[in-house]
């Protein structure tokens, strides 16, 4: 069965877009980016921007993120996958990145949440964006500690 991703989050002032690969099972069920409670995304990005995002309701998390000029999206629009692991993704369709220039006119930086989404970095760098591949916020990425990830995630603030 083909699974469909989410619309991008952001506004006309968005200067940085964080791109994941594709929503996991918990995120798809909740219709929320990074909904799995063990995913460190909201703690990482919150610490990077100085906001306690993981304690807020989802709508408030998004509003605070957008207020900082940061948006969210995924590199894949649709795919087939059993479970949540990126390695299980099959028959993927990328999102239409041509819309970025018009949808987010101030967009300058694309940050990729993990290696799977990071595979798109060279293509988008060639389109004129600054790119940064971050260590995945997924609980499955246990190679780095939270603090080690956070040191790199803080770079989203310096690439703006």
CATH number at residue 15: 3.40.470.10
In the chain, the number of structural domains is 1
Cα separation, 143 vs 42, whole angstroms: 19
Structural domain range at position 41: 3-158
Cα separation, 112 vs 155, whole angstroms: 12
- Which of 39, 95, 113, 141 does the annotation list as catalytic? 39
- Global pTM reads 0.93
Cα separation, 81 vs 21, whole angstroms: 12
User: Is 39 part of the annotated catalytic residue set?
Assistant: yes
User: 31, 57, 25: which is closest to 140 by C-alpha?
Assistant: 25
Residue-level pLDDT, tens digit, the chain, 160 residues: 799 999 999 999 999 999 999 999 999 999 999 999 999 999 999 999 999 999 999 999 999 999 999 999 999 999 999 888 788 899 999 999 999 989 999 999 999 999 999 999 999 999 999 999 999 998 777 788 898 999 899 877 665 5
Cα separation, 147 vs 91, whole angstroms: 35
């Amino acid at each position: 069965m083909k699974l469909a991703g989410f619309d991008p989050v952001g506004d006309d002032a968005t200067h940085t877009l964080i791109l994941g690969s594709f929503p996991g099972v918990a995120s798809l069920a909740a219709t929320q980016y990074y909904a799995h409670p063990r995913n460190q995304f909201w703690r990482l990005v919150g610490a990077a921007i100085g906001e306690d995002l993981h304690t807020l309701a989802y709508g408030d998390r998004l509003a605070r993120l957008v207020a900082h000029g940061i948006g969210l999206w995924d590199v894949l629009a649709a795919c087939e996958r059993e479970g949540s692991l990126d390695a299980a993704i099959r028959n993927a369709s990328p999102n239409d990145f041509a819309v970025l220039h018009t949808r987010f006119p101030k967009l300058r930086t694309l940050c990729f949440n993990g290696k799977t989404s990071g595979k798109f970095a060279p293509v988008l760098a060639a389109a004129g964006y600054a790119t940064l591949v971050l260590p995945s916020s997924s609980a499955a990425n246990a190679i780095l500690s939270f603090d080690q990830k956070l040191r790199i995630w803080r770079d989203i603030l310096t690439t703006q």
